Amino acid sequence: MDLLNKKFFLPVLFFLYITILFLTLTDYDEGAFAATSLQMLRESQFFIPYLGDGLRLEKPILTYWIQVSSISLFGASEFALRLPSLIAAFLWAYIFGKFIKNKIPGKSQSNYIFILLTLPGILAMSVVATADAFLNLFICLVMINIYNYSDAKKEKFLLRAAFYLGLGFLTKGFAILAIIGPASLLYFLISKKLDRFFSAIFNVKAWIIFGLIVVPWFLVLFLREGASSVEYLLLGQSFGRFSDTMESHSGSVFYYLLLLPFLVFPYFLNFLNGLRRSFAEKKPIDLFCLIWFLWVLVFFSFSSTKLPHYLVYGLTPVVYFIEKNTALLSNRTYSLNNFLAHTLMLLFYLSLPFLFEYVYNLDPSMEASPLFIKEFSGNYLFIGSCILGVLLIFILLRAKYKYVKGLQFMALFQAFLLTIFVIPSAVTVMQADLKSLGIYAKTNNISFAVNKINKPTLSFYSSTNYLRDIEDSEYFITRIDKVDIQRYEVIQKRGNYILLRQKYDEN
């Protein structure tokens, strides 16, 4: 099984991740990060993030610095913007796998790497050009060093934790403290090592390291933009997401419980059984992973703002629960029940394009391109791939393959469907027309504003500063339902989006 992982499964998985690096950027987050990073480079101003003429202080500075460095090396492209996230994701998987292997001799590091990188929630988030892959890497590093400190009480682990905590704070502000702080306190408390928690809290060296990383940039922000900007970034964007619903992303307290099975396909039953075994055994490593996962689940379930990727901050220990259960099934053969479960999963993916088209026809959205939706539902290669998947797992059943190998195959096949068909199709439906207009504007040297929509990818693809809702702009891009087109000169139209020019009275 491990040999198969190393010589086939992991290289194929790496290739599948690479394919996403070249997809069109998406709005809003990817577009905003991309446009801001490119503007920094264009203006040689690397300390205060601006999106057009406005401050962009939803996140601190580190992600922009990383993306600017990558653009400088590889040019302004999707590949350059997404590559750092991919590297962070693979480091994250490698580091967690090594940590478990060191704590539990005999465990395979490659298994943990493979499981983490084939979880759909992690796969979808790990190659986007935002701050989340970096934050998950830093959360993982901090938590590992906190566990090592609790186990050995060596100051070097605490100082490393402070270092990575500082980097995480420069990535997404108080979010990392909201996850690390309570989870650590609960672990030290339940494991009856509360004295070590307070030793860590009052360690002067650790605070100095954290301060040296965090304070300089926040001081620059304070001196240039004032206290209100710092307050907005630290309080409004961090605590505000917990207390208030932002960007219409609300949901029930059960939102993440309902979402969880989709984020861990096809390992959900293994996750549940592994979770149950960890509750029963209560070893230090089990307790640590339980608290990490459950705190993230509970904290964000009661947050007012709910986004799918918030739960990903707690998915790293889920990998431990999954492998804990699958390791006990190494001698089990692939059964009819496994075949039926995996067939249902493939039928779910097969239904997606038709489900998208059905939902779109019920309530057409101007955000999506009906042309590309029809192309996805008529993609016979995708349909054929799903049917081929059913045939392959039927072969596994007839040949009495090992269950774990069948599970790994299904996880890899799911990654194939997501990266080659589902994600590219979803991106194309939402973004292809915008990219085309942005490139047209750049090619024809047209400076424009974006009116009555918020699509910063247009700024990146046109290589111009993001100007929004400027009424007297000569050229502007908008959606066809937002304006009376007859009042303007149509320069270029792509799907539901259009580049217009003001008609001026010649007199």
Nearest partner of 143 among 314, 323, 322, judged by Cα: 314
Residue 202 Cα distances to 167, 184, 198, 208, angstroms: 20, 14, 6, 11
Report the alpha-carbon distance of residue 464 to residue 51 in Å, rounded: 10
Residue 6 clears pLDDT 80, i.e. is over it? no
Measured in degrees and rounded to the nearest 5, phi and psi for residue 475 equal -115, 145
pLDDT at 368: 85
SS3 428: helix
Residue 15 Cα distances to 73, 183, 352, angstroms: 21, 35, 24
Q: Which tens digit of pLDDT belongs to each residue from 80-116?
A: 999 999 999 999 999 999 999 999 988 889 999 999 9
Q: How many CB atoms lie within 10 A of CB 432?
A: 16
| 2: confidence class by pLDDT, cuts 50, 70, 90 | very low
| 506: confidence class by pLDDT, cuts 50, 70, 90 | low
Higher pLDDT among residues 250 and 411, named by residue: 411
Residue 4 clears pLDDT 50, i.e. is over it? no
Provide mean pLDDT across the span 378-391: 94
pTM for the complete prediction?
0.94
SS3 290: helix
Where helices occur in 120-174 by DSSP H, the ranges are 120-126, 132-152, 155-172
| 370: confidence class by pLDDT, cuts 50, 70, 90 | confident
Ordered DSSP codes for 77-134: SHHHHHHHHHHHHHHHHHHHHHHHHHHSTT--HHHHHHHHHHSHHHHHHHTSSSSHHH
**Pairing state of beta strands 449-450 and 475-479?**
parallel
pLDDT at 7: 66
Report the alpha-carbon distance of residue 185 to residue 196 in Å, rounded: 10
Residue 34 Cα distances to 109, 131, 295, 345, 464, angstroms: 34, 11, 32, 35, 12
Supply the mean pLDDT for the chain. Answer: 92
Q: Domain limits of the chain?
A: 2-244, 438-502
| 307: confidence class by pLDDT, cuts 50, 70, 90 | confident
pLDDT at 241: 58
Contact 414, 120 (CB under 8 A): yes
Q: Which tens digit of pLDDT belongs to each residue from 106-129?
A: 888 999 999 999 999 999 998 899
Q: Which tens digit of pLDDT belongs to each residue from 394-446?
A: 999 999 999 999 999 999 999 999 999 999 999 999 999 999 999 999 999 99
Which of the given ranges, 8-12, 240-244, 331-335, has the highest pLDDT on average?
Answer: 331-335
Q: How many CB atoms lie within 10 A of CB 493?
A: 15
Contact 146, 161 (CB under 8 A): yes
Q: Which tens digit of pLDDT belongs to each residue from 218-237?
A: 999 999 999 999 999 988 77
Residue 3 clears pLDDT 80, i.e. is over it? no
DSSP state of 503: P
pLDDT at 69: 98
Higher pLDDT among residues 162 and 486, named by residue: 162
Q: What contacts 394, CB < 8 A, 6 or more positions away?
A: 339
| 363: confidence class by pLDDT, cuts 50, 70, 90 | confident
Provide mean pLDDT across the span 473-486: 93
Label residue 501 left, alpha or beta by phi (over 0 means left) and psi (-120 to 50 means alpha). Answer: beta
Q: Which tens digit of pLDDT belongs to each residue from 265-302?
A: 999 999 999 999 999 987 999 999 999 999 999 999 98
Provide mean pLDDT across the span 485-503: 93
